[in-house]
Amino acid sequence: MDILNQNRNKIELPSSMIRILVIGFVLLVIILLVSGKSFLTLNPGEKGVLFKRFSGGLEKDKIYSEGFHVIMPWNTMYIYDTRIMESFEKLEVLSRNGLNIKVDLSYRFYPVADDIGNLHTKIGKNFHESIIKPEIRSSTREVIGKYLPEELYSTKREAIQDEIFTQTSAALKKKYIILDAVLIREVALPQTLKTAIENKLKQEQESLEYEYRLEKERKEAERRIIEAQAKAKANQILNSSLTENILKDKGIEATLKLAESPNSKTVIIGSGKDGLPLILGK
């Protein structure tokens, strides 16, 4: 009997260890499954909003910042990237005169970090496709529809770009999204229209250049007239100031200086015109 009891004791020990191992394995599996939902890390630029399944639903007023967080496994953390993002859009729009124009846009945007709870409740994480793209398309078509192709191609491009941005930005701001910029990257017109616009711009440039040359010549002519008038006035003033006595006095001074020079000469007093001395060289 003692031998049988000893054998039974030997058999019971391994079975208890097996139960412990099974329980430990089950707990390990549960921990692994739960830890994937309970332990979360938000990366730089990310914000989170928590949905509590059994106690109130979405916490719209509490925003979780980047870093490590522990939540209950039955709750869900919705994570949003709040950094500036860029996207592109190619559109075919009609100008004011009904011509088809292809426009290539780029735009930058980001969700308002403090309002991602409202954003998630009213729109959801697919806000780019459901809100931003439709607003960009609608504003672009509406704005470009007010302009002629040549204005979009040359003179009014920046104004059109700013108008699209202003209109779209106002609409997105109401939906907790900030539009950072809208850029018109390329405008594609029908080739015949493009050639006609380029020729028109070339002719306008040549006309401006011709007007510049005319203006330059006109100013040069005015300068010459002013210069001639100044010379005439100076001569008039000079002539009015040169009396007969002054001229004689100047002639006498010149004669005296010449007479003092070492060169041989003959001076005949009173023999010159107007009674001035006549100087004869050797």
Report, as an integer, the average pLDDT of 1-14. 50
* Helices 157-173 & 133-144 angle (0-180, nearest 10): 140
CA pair distance 133, 18, nearest whole angstrom: 60
The phi and psi torsions of 177 (rounded to 5 degrees) equal: -130, 135
The confidence score (pLDDT) of residue 278 equals 53
Tokens of 195: 């050639």
The confidence score (pLDDT) of residue 4 equals 44
CA-to-CA dists, residue 22 to 17, 165, 217, 254, angstroms: 9, 63, 104, 138
Residue 11 binned pLDDT confidence (cut-offs 50, 70, 90):
very low
Percent above pLDDT 70 for the chain: 64
CB 137 within 8 A of CB 164: no
pLDDT per position as a tens digit, 200-234: 665 666 666 667 777 887 888 888 888 888 877 77
CA pair distance 122, 117, nearest whole angstrom: 9
Tokens of 41: 């890390």
Q: Which of 89, 85, 91 is nearest to 125 (CA)?
A: 85
DSSP assignment, residue 87?
E
Tokens of 175: 């939906």
**Phi-psi map region of 124: left, alpha, beta (phi>0 left; psi -120 to 50 alpha):** left
The confidence score (pLDDT) of residue 46 equals 92
CA pair distance 241, 250, nearest whole angstrom: 13
CA pair distance 155, 204, nearest whole angstrom: 13
- The CATH class of the 85-189 domain is alpha beta
CA pair distance 260, 217, nearest whole angstrom: 53
CB 77 within 8 A of CB 40: yes
CA pair distance 273, 247, nearest whole angstrom: 11
Sequence ranges of the chain with CATH classification 3.30.479.30: 85-189
pLDDT per position as a tens digit, 84-142: 999 999 998 888 888 888 889 999 999 999 999 999 999 999 999 999 999 999 999 99
Say which amino acid occupies 8: R
CA pair distance 86, 132, nearest whole angstrom: 11
CA pair distance 212, 206, nearest whole angstrom: 10
Q: How far apart are the first and last CA of the chain?
A: 176
CA pair distance 260, 72, nearest whole angstrom: 124
pLDDT per position as a tens digit, 12-38: 546 667 677 767 666 665 655 555 567
pLDDT per position as a tens digit, 164-203: 999 999 999 999 999 999 999 888 876 666 566 556 665 6
CB 147 within 8 A of CB 179: no
Helix, strand or coil, per DSSP, at residue 2: helix
Say which amino acid occupies 142: E
